[in-house]
Amino acid sequence: MKLSKKGISIAAFALGACVFVSTALADLAVGTGYDRLKAASKHTAAQLVSELGNYTIEARYTIKSNTSVLHELNSVIKFDAANQATEETNTTLLGNGEVSTGYNYRDKERMIWKSSYDEKYYVTEYNQEWNSHDRVFNPFEQEGAAEVERIIDAVIGNLKDQVQVDEVAGGGVTYSGSLSEVQVPALINAVASFGVKQMLVDQGRIVRDYDIPKLASDVFVKRVTGMAVEDEAGLISHFTGELILSGKDEAGNLNDFTVSAIFSLVDVGTTSVTAPDLTNVTVESIGGSGFSSMHEGTYRNDIVKEENGALVKIGERTLIISSIDGNDISGSYFEKVQPEYLDEYGEEYNFTFEHTLTSSNSMNFFTYTNSKGEEEQAQLQLSSPGGVYLQLNIQIMNDHSYQFNDRPYDNGDFRRVFEE
C-alpha cells in the first residue's frame, strides 16, 4: 500500500507536468492574435522602408462629436523609392465647413508645395542631395522602440487575446478586436481620456467660430475597436481604428466623441510619382533657408549700452540685402558709432558680401573682411517676419561646431527698415 501511495503521487505529478508543459508549449505555439498582428506590422514597416519600390498610403483621421464631424483629414501619400520621390495631398475639413487642401512634392532635387490659401506653387531647390533616409522611417527600429514595445505588451497583458484572427479564403488574414469600457485597463482609460480631452481643447482653438462641446466631467473611454487586414504578401494593407470617448459637458449633457483613423496601403508596385507641371502656374522660388526676393531691403540693429543706470543708444548697425537670386545673396554692412564712444567700441565694420545659401547645412557661413583687413566668418538666418539674425566674427572649431564672438553690445537681431 505504501508503494501504491508513492506511485499515485508520482503518477499525479507526472500527469500534472504533462498537462502543464504540453498546454504551455501549445499556448506558446498558438501565440496570440496580438502577437501575430505585431509581427505582421513589423514586417510591413520593414517592407515599406526598404523593400517595396513604390506604393500609396491613403489615410483618414476623423474626430466626430456625436454624429457631426469636427475635423477630418484625408491624406494620400505616394512613395517612389526608385526616384526617391514622394507626393502628398491633404484635404482638411473642419467643423465649420471650412475646407483646406495642401500639396507637397519632394524628390532628390527639390520640394514643391502649395496650399489652398494662395494660388502659388513654392519651390525649393536643394543644393545638396536630399538624404533619402529621412523619407520614411521604421517605427520599430527607432531608439527605445524595444523598451516601449515591452511596456505596451505588459500593459496589454491578457488583452492580447482580444485580437481575433480570421483566415480569409484565398490567403490573407483579418485581425479584429473590440474593447468595451469594462475591459479597457484603468491606466489606458486615464491616459486616453486625458489625451483626447486635450486634443478637443486644441481643436477648439483651431476652429474659432465653431462651437465644440467641451467635455467637463465623467470622461471615459467607452469603446475601442480596431481592424486590420493582412494581404497574401503578409503586408497590412488596411487598418481601421476607432476610439469612442464619452463624457458630460458643462450643462450635464452626454456627448460621445469618436476619434478614428483609417490607413490603406494601395497600388503597391504601380504607384508612380510625377512632379507637378509648373509651366502655366505662378511659381515662387524659395531658398532652402527661406530667403526670397521679398527679403531684399535694409535692416537695422541699435547699439545700446547701459550707462549710469540708463540705456544709451551709442550707434547703429545697418545691413543692406541688395539682391536675392535663388540661393545667392549679396549686400553690404556698416556700423556707425557716436564719436565719443568710438574709443571704447573699437573699429567700425564696413564691408560688402556675397553669400550662397545651402539648405541642409547648418554650417553655412560667408566670408567678409573686417576693419583690420582680416577675413572673418558670418552667418545670416531669418528670424521672425521682418527680421534676420546676423552673427559676425564666428570662430569655426571643426566640421560640426563653431563659436560666436559677438561684437560689443551685439545681439545679432536686425529689424527691417520700412520706408514711411
Footprint of other proteins (CB under 8 A): 1-2, 5-6, 9-10, 12-13, 15-21, 23-28, 30, 32, 35, 150, 153-154, 157-159, 161-162, 164, 178-183, 185-186, 189-190, 193-194, 197, 215-220, 247
Least distance between other proteins and beta carbon 244 (Å): 14
CB of 41 to other proteins, least distance (A): 15
Q: Is 91 helix (H, G, I), strand (E, B) or coil?
A: strand
Minimal distance, residue 281 CB to other proteins, in Å: 49
Q: Report the run of H or E that residue 155 belongs to, with start and end.
A: helix 145-156
Q: Which is nearer to other proteins, 110 or 214 (CB)?
A: 214
H-helix segments, 320-370: 339-345
Nearer to other proteins, 2 or 205 (CB): 2
Q: How far is the CB of 211 from other proteins (least distance, A)?
A: 19
Q: Which is nearer to other proteins, 155 or 281 (CB)?
A: 155
Q: Which is nearer to other proteins, 15 or 283 (CB)?
A: 15
- What φ, ψ does residue 311 adopt, rounded to 5°? -90, 130
Cell of 254: 452626454
Q: What does the alpha-carbon distance between residue 234 and residue 41 come to, in Å, rounded to a whole number?
A: 9
Judged by CB, which is closer to other proteins: 21, or 99? 21
- The answer to whether 353 touches 365, Cβ cutoff 8 Å, is no
57/244 with CB nearer other proteins? 244
Rounded least distance, CB 23 to other proteins, Å: 4
Give the CA distances from residue 237 to residues 47, 55, 240, 266, in Å, rounded to whole numbers and listed in that order: 12, 11, 10, 7
CB 210 to other proteins: min, Å: 22
HSE-up (13 A, CA, CB side) for residue 109:
2
Least Cβ distance, residue 219 to other proteins (angstroms): 5
For residue 89, give Cα distances in angstroms to 1, 36, 209, 341.
Answer: 83, 32, 26, 58
The distance of closest approach from Cβ of residue 213 to other proteins in the complex, given in angstroms and rounded to an integer, is 13
Are the C-beta atoms of residues 326 and 287 closer than 8 Å to each other? yes
Q: Which cell is 118 given?
A: 494662395
φ/ψ (deg, to 5) at 12: -65, -40
The residue among 16 and 53 lying less far from other proteins, judged by its C-beta, is: 16
> Among candidates 350, 347, 357, 356, which has minimal Cα distance to 408?
347
| Residue (97 or 252) nearer to other proteins, CB | 252
**Burial class of residue 33, CB neighbours in 10 A (0-12, 13-18, 19+):** buried
The least distance separating other proteins from the CB of residue 44, rounded to whole angstroms, comes to 20
Q: Could you count the other beta carbons within 10 Å of the beta carbon of residue 114?
A: 21
Nearer to other proteins, 66 or 100 (CB): 66
Residue count (the chain): 420
Cell numbers given for 46:
520593414
